[in-house]
Amino acid sequence: MENITLGRREINGAKKKVNKIKGILIDSGRVLNYPATGDWSFSPNFFNIVNKSKFYNIPRIKRKAAYKKAWPSLREVFKKAEVYKYFDSLIISSELGVTKPSPQMYKAALKELDLNEEEVVYIDDNFINCNGALQLGIKSIILNRDLKMRIFIKIALKSKHKIIKNLHEAEKLVMNL
Domains of the chain, with CATH numbers? 21-175 (3.40.50.1000)
State the pLDDT at residue 99.
83
**Stronger pLDDT, 6 or 13, i.e. the higher one:** 13
State the pLDDT at residue 136.
94
Residue 60 in this model has a pLDDT that exceeds 70: no
State the pLDDT at residue 55.
64
Half-sphere exposure of residue 145: CA atoms within 13 angstroms, side-chain side: 10
Residue 118 in this model has a pLDDT that exceeds 60: yes
Per-residue pLDDT, averaged over 94-112, amounts to: 88
State the pLDDT at residue 68.
66
Out of 55-59, 117-121, 137-141, 166-170, which region has the weakest mean confidence (pLDDT)? Answer: 55-59
State the pLDDT at residue 11.
41
State the pLDDT at residue 177.
62
Per-residue pLDDT band for 116 (boundaries 50, 70, 90) equals very high
Angle among Cα 147, 143, 153 to the nearest 5 degrees reads 55
